[in-house]
């Protein structure tokens, strides 16, 4: 029996792949549990710096498996969301490598990630609008923060499809690659991010998320407090070495 989620390592990068191709990577209870366990393990592993979520080269995820909705109920899945992890906050950077359909809960999972690297076949949309299924994996909260209120409302209310180039134009995608190259490009970015001093990087990331929706003064206070915790990192031996390397370029 095939595992519904495959987890692999590429140096300090963890790749978490949804593996239900015959179901367009739709999420059932077993898959949700496996995703939850994979992201909890990612967070706990000190040797891993960046996580990539992918569905392979053909489809990212079609959302919840509508034939298994009972398996995704809160009393079954627990505190981290019906799809297993979407109410979880991890302290490390995450990237979605998207190909093909990334719709319904699949789009919610992609929005959970910090960045979305998509290939030219990618299709996004809240297709569950057509079936009367609500967004309960962060879709109503994260999409407006990524593409703005007006566009998020349009996509949520119409459920229309968005191709890769439009996704790039509205800020949903960070980059578009040729077919089949989204994961490789995501890996390149992940290794670039993993090469930086991690403590400072993670504090800056946390400051961005904690400051969302807050008044500027409060956001600046959060930034200052978190920055003070890692102010000495830049003066460390490794930080000084990296600075000299940049200055020499």
Active-site residues, by number, are 108, 128
CA distance 64 to 41: 23
φ, ψ (nearest 5 deg) of residue 120: -65, -10
Query: Is 177 within 8 Å of 185 (Cβ atoms)?
Result: yes
Query: Is 125 within 8 Å of 107 (Cβ atoms)?
Result: yes
Query: Is 170 within 8 Å of 151 (Cβ atoms)?
Result: yes
CA distances from 165 to 5, 21, 188, 241 (A): 28, 24, 21, 39
CA distance 238 to 240: 5
Question: Given strand 162-163, what is the order of strands in its sheet?
Answer: 101-103, 123-125, 162-163
Of 181, 96, 196, nearest to 146 by C-alpha is 96
Q: What angle (nearest 5°) sits at the alpha carbon of residue 122, between those of residues 29 and 35?
A: 25
């Amino acid at each position: 029996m095939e595992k519904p989620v495959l987890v692999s390592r590429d140096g300090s990068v963890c790749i978490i792949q949804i593996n239900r191709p015959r179901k367009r990577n739709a999420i059932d209870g077993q898959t949700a549990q496996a995703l939850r366990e994979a992201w909890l393990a990612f967070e706990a592993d000190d040797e891993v710096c960046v996580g990539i979520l992918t569905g392979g080269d053909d489809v990212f995820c079609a959302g919840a498996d509508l034939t298994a909705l009972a398996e995704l109920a809160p009393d079954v899945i627990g505190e981290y969301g019906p799809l297993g992890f979407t109410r979880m906050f991890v302290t490390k950077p995450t990237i979605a490598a998207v190909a093909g359909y990334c719709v319904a809960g699949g789009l919610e999972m992609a929005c959970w990630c910090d960045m979305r690297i998509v290939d030219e076949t990618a299709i996004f949309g809240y297709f569950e609008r057509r079936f009367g299924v609500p967004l309960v994996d962060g879709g109503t909260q994260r999409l407006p923060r990524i593409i703005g209120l007006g566009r998020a409302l349009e996509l949520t209310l119409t459920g229309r499809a968005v191709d890769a180039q439009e996704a790039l134009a509205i800020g949903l995608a960070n980059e578009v690659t040729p077919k089949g190259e989204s994961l490789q490009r995501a890996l390149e970015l992940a290794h670039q991010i993993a090469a930086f001093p991690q403590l400072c990087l993670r504090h800056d990331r946390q400051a961005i998320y904690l400051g969302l929706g807050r008044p500027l003064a409060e956001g600046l206070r959060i930034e200052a407090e978190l920055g003070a915790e890692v102010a000495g990192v830049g003066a460390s031996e490794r930080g000084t070495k990296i600075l000299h390397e940049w200055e020499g370029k």
